Structure 1
Amino acid sequence: MRRLLPALLLLLVAGCSRPDPDVHTLGERTYRTHGSGGTAVIVLHGGGGNGAQIAEQTGFDALADREGFRAVYPDGSGRTDLRTWNAGSCCAYAHDQGVDDVGFIRALIAELDADRVFVTGFSNGAMLTYRLGCELADEITAIAPVSGSLGVPSCEPSRPLPVYVIHGDADQVVPYAGGKSAKRVAGSHPSVGYAVGVWTGVDRCTGAPVRSVSGVVVSDRYTSCASGTEVRLDTITGGGHAWPGGVPGRRGADQPADFDASAAIWAFFTTHGG
């Protein structure tokens, strides 16, 4: 038995160190996938997060299983597991080092070889989602930023793009009305209204939005837009810096509102090419 113990220990160690089959490398970067199918939904984590964390925060794995798409969770860059994205004017390591995150996501889309690619993200990930809409519209079917700001100096996508914005009006990290963050994220941020104005211009939307209210959600929908696109803004009344319907991203973070943002985003995506 003593002779067998070293061999058994080696097998146990090998089993424990076996790589996760859902974790992939692309150059020096990593990303996770869950599910299968011709449609891919790229989910971008917030600043200081990572792919595994945003998967738990949003619940997109269960949604992918139920609806039959691939959920994809790329990791940002940083010196530790606390990763960020270069979204233009923000954030931290990725911004300071001039990381080419647009190029990374372009390469990731090519690697996925999907029929349709949608992008959503939270906070710093939402900021990159906006930027990708501006710079990779030829690769993306629609975008859905949550609790982020549009921080690039100009947005001139190659084509109109469906855009679904979700943001709490009590967000103190990325303020709804714009201005300096009261928590964590340094610098000043453009307002949600600014982002919506940019995208309604890009999509050549005409007329006033159609407004509806359901619980804590005030929804403004611009549907008279070019090429069948739509710009939708869901304002979470009293909502803080959180993924509605998800779980808090970290200890002490704002509590999510009672609204299933992940399901609503998927429904928007399916309406616009999913």
Structure 2
Amino acid sequence: MTTTPIKELPPGRHRLTIDSDDREREFWVYIPTQAQQPEAGWPLVFVFHGGLSNAPTMVRFCEMNEYADAAGFVTVFPNGTGRLPTMKTWNAGMCCGYAQREDVNDVHFVELLLADLPRRMAIDPTRIYSTGMSNGGMMSYLLGDKLADRFAAIAPVGGTMGNPTCSPSRPVPLMHIHGTDDQFVRWEGGVGSRSKSKLHFHSVDHAMENWIAANRAQTTPSIESLPVEVNDGTSIERFIYAADGSDSAEVVLLKVHGGGHTWPGKESRLELLGPTTRNLDANQAIWEFFQRHRLPN
């Protein structure tokens, strides 16, 4: 692909397309209107929607773009693939749906975006991150594994690993957020009572064990109970598996006791997703985690 610069995008929202493996793929870019661009270029956060959802729905679901506008980073909401415009999925290993059945190469799609976006705006290549919900969290796990040299850190929410193992080319800092009452992607793994796919998902423990080993992190965590500021039936425990030397990276787990298949801090309009905690702001927690990590120069 050519690296010739194209017209720079102004601040605001942009719906864009790119050709990827004979498919026209959509993605939405939000460039801050309040914050100033850092001298080294914008930090970049990919935000992946859940299965049977799409990018515009994810924008409303998590509102990460609004947080980014003041915090000072660019958000990119890519669209998965599917037969219906509002029901898209990602091929993130064992899951999910159309994208998996059609063997869509979503890692290649992201590689194309990583090549395209710096032609449209100034991006700091040491500060590129990924988060996502459910199937989008699984996609973040896959990118951390397959594109470890491009992503400074990942932060899946409500989505476990889609593959049985991982072998990133370097330790990739990881923060995972998950509710104990998630009935779609169960904490314990297996088939959730409200799962649409009826797949046997891997457990949260499976993801932690694999990434603690891959990151060569300490195996005994420090554990902290966060303050319960809202009496909504939820509470948060933070487990930190610290980096163990220079060739290592931390693994952080935020266990949302009583939380459902939701984005902490953002009330879901769908009751079937379960309870949303107001004792954690996922957007703030994710960005604070990302800010601690850069790719080595």
Structures share fold, TM-score greater than 0.5 = yes
Aligned 8 A contact 2:158 2:177 in 1: yes
Q: Deviations over 1:165-190 (max 9, x none)?
A: 00001111000011112112321011
Equivalent-residue separation in structure 1 for 2:108 and 2:202 (angstroms): 24
Equivalent-residue separation in structure 2 for 1:162 and 1:218 (angstroms): 19
Equivalent-residue separation in structure 1 for 2:117 and 2:81 (angstroms): 20
2:293 aligned with 1:272: yes
Q: Any residues of structure 2 matched to 1:167-178 within 5 Å, and which? A: 167-178=178-189
2:198 aligned with 1:179: no
Equivalent-residue separation in structure 2 for 1:21 and 1:235 (angstroms): 33
Q: Indicate which of 135, 138, 143 corresponds to 1:132.
A: 143
Taking structure 1 as the reference length, what is the TM-score of the superposition?
A: 0.89
User: Could you tell me which amino acid in structure 2 is paired with residue 182 of structure 1?
Assistant: S
Q: Secondary structure at the match of 2:111?
A: helix
2:175 aligned with 1:164: yes
- Measured after TM superposition, the shift of residue 255 of structure 1 is 3.3
Name 2:31's counterpart in structure 1.
35
- Measured after TM superposition, the shift of residue 273 of structure 1 is 2.5
Equivalent-residue separation in structure 1 for 2:17 and 2:29 (angstroms): 11
Aligned 8 A contact 1:43 1:71 in 2: yes
Q: Indicate which of 60, 73, 80 corresponds to 1:76.
A: 80
- Measured after TM superposition, the shift of residue 249 of structure 1 is 6.2
Name 1:255's counterpart in structure 2.
275
Q: Indicate which of 187, 193, 196 corresponds to 2:208.
A: 196
Q: 1:88 and 1:244, CA in 2 relative to 1: closer, same or farther beyond 3 A?
A: same
Aligned 8 A contact 1:40 1:117 in 2: yes
Q: 1:107 and 1:226, CA in 2 relative to 1: closer, same or farther beyond 3 A?
A: farther
Name 2:101's counterpart in structure 1.
96
Equivalent-residue separation in structure 2 for 1:177 and 1:170 (angstroms): 10
Aligned 8 A contact 1:168 1:176 in 2: yes
Structure ID, larger Rg? 1
User: Could you tell me which amino acid in structure 1 is paired with residue 115 of structure 2?
Assistant: A
User: Could you tell me which amino acid in structure 1 is paired with residue 172 of structure 2?
Assistant: L
User: Could you tell me which amino acid in structure 2 is paired with residue 51 of structure 1?
Assistant: A
Structure 2 gap segments, 5+ residues each: 1-11, 229-234
Q: Deviations over 1:137-193 (max 9, x none)?
A: 011110000001112133111100000000001111000011112112321011101
Poorly superposed stretches of 4+, deviation over 6 Å: none
Equivalent-residue separation in structure 1 for 2:54 and 2:217 (angstroms): 35
Name 1:120's counterpart in structure 2.
131
2:228 aligned with 1:232: no
Equivalent-residue separation in structure 2 for 1:133 and 1:106 (angstroms): 12
Q: Any residues of structure 2 matched to 1:40-79 within 5 Å, and which? A: 40-79=44-83
User: Could you tell me which amino acid in structure 1 is paired with residue 242 of structure 2?
Assistant: T
Structure 1 gap segments, 5+ residues each: 1-19
- Report which of the two has the higher share of strand: 2
User: Could you tell me which amino acid in structure 2 is paired with residue 63 of structure 1?
Assistant: Y
Equivalent-residue separation in structure 1 for 2:288 and 2:179 (angstroms): 20
Q: Deviations over 1:61-113 (max 9, x none)?
A: 21111111101100000011211000100111001110001110111112122
Equivalent-residue separation in structure 1 for 2:212 and 2:245 (angstroms): 10
Name 1:109's counterpart in structure 2.
114
Equivalent-residue separation in structure 2 for 1:145 and 1:21 (angstroms): 24
Equivalent-residue separation in structure 2 for 1:257 and 1:210 (angstroms): 22
Aligned 8 A contact 1:44 1:121 in 2: yes
Q: Percent identity?
A: 38
Equivalent-residue separation in structure 1 for 2:46 and 2:158 (angstroms): 16
Aligned 8 A contact 1:56 1:247 in 2: no
- Measured after TM superposition, the shift of residue 223 of structure 1 is 1.1
